[in-house]
Amino acid sequence: MKILSVNAGSSSLKFTLFELPEKKELINGTFEKIGLNDSFYSIKINGEKTKKEASLKSHADAVNILIKELLENKVISSLEDLDGVGHRLVHGGNKFSKSVIINDEVLEAAEECIELAPIHNPANILGIRTFMKALPNVAQVAVFDTAFHQTMDKEDYLYGVPYEWYQKYGVRRYGFHGTSHRYVYKTICEELKNDKLKVINCHIGNGSSLCAIDSGKVLHTTMGFTPLAGVIMGTRSGDVDASIIPFIMKKENKTCEEVVNDLNKKSGLLGISGVSSDSRDIEDGIKEGNERCQLANDMLCKSVANYIAMYNNMLNGADVITFTAGLGENSILTREAIGNLISSLGVKIDKERNNVRGKMTLISSDDSSIPVYIVPTNEELMIAEDTYELIK
């Protein structure tokens, strides 16, 4: 089957076409600056990447060009060759605990979650409607970032706030990056030939979250009602005292929305270092002796290490720790630093094994109490596989 995996943003559209069940990637690409004057797209096929300028006034223009490229590059001979389209949706609230075939009821429920993800869900839904119009005879599937975390117990997803806030407004921990966490868990279980593993997965990138998983059930995850909570990230603060918000509102004469924007877009590695939100720039700063870059990296590593220790306790001893996403897969320095900070758990990172980027491999020493792996994530493939399973 040929399955198209899609992630529609407000001004972008990313796609990958897979042949399943072989897991063969046929073509991928990104449409950028949709609705803007300088729009363009890039296509990668057979290892070769090409960039083309195009007038992308709407997502419909992007979808039409995408279909044209699939045909011209002969990855499909006709639209009948497309068996399904899987769509990423950021938020499914507490309505969806798994991926589903899209119908009017699913779209209506996703629209009800817009207030929980006002930036992402409208763009995701727009992408779905555009593909449904362009490909009316092709099955469409919704894959929710929040779905995997719906297995959390109530005492773990509720906050210590008035219970009525949960009843009336759905105030609770939802968690995000669920598609990535699920993919990594599935992959490490296959690698170790054990589907009952207790795993602490560290998805560390510009946005970061950790997840404690026991036999496929999520016990806890660091992101919360929004992706702002948890560990320090590229531009997000992670956990802070909520009283900081009214305090800064008064001191800086800012609105609540402006302070929350600062916590989302001007904090984290960027806010502490004053240099960049990109860990590569932070590491360059450390080499140059920049103390604030060192401080930012130390704070990030310590926040991750503290959650690992907490999750190891929740799991009553983890079977494996996994690192994934941009930093998790590629930052040798960050993985080693985090490993050193959890040495009290008996974790030992092997310097030689850890000297690798973006590769599925064991990075802990043979005498480490908990084995530690790099597991490159592939959310696009997870979306495609869910679509394949639902329509086959």
Q: Tell me: the pLDDT tens digits for 328-358?
A: 999 999 999 999 999 999 999 999 999 999 9
Give yes or no: residues 225 and 355 share one domain. yes
Give yes or no: residues 113 and 211 share one domain. no
Query: What domain range includes position 365?
Result: 194-379
Q: What CATH number does residue 300 fall under?
A: 3.30.420.40
Single pTM value for the model: 0.92
Within a domain: residue 346?
yes
Q: Tell me: the pLDDT tens digits for 10-48?
A: 788 899 999 999 999 999 999 998 888 889 999 999 889
Within a domain: residue 157?
no
Percent of the chain with pLDDT over 90: 84
Percent of the chain with pLDDT over 70: 100
Domain count, the chain: 2
Query: Could you give the 3-state DSSP secondary structure of residue 168?
Result: helix
Q: Tell me: the pLDDT tens digits for 132-185?
A: 998 999 999 999 999 999 999 999 999 999 999 999 999 999 999 999 999 999
Give yes or no: residues 129 and 201 share one domain. no
Q: Tell me: the pLDDT tens digits for 357-372?
A: 999 999 999 999 999 9
Give yes or no: residues 133 and 276 share one domain. no
Q: Which two tokens stand for residue 186?
A: 């599935």
Q: Stretch 78-86: mean pLDDT, rounded?
A: 93
Side by side, which strands form the sheet with 48-53?
A: 48-53, 40-45, 24-32, 12-19, 2-8, 82-89, 139-144, 100-101
Residue where a domain stops, chosen among 144, 176, 210: 144
Give yes or no: residues 67 and 215 share one domain. no
Residue numbers annotated as active site: 145
Within a domain: residue 232?
yes
Give yes or no: residues 112 and 7 share one domain. yes
Mean pLDDT taken over the chain: 94
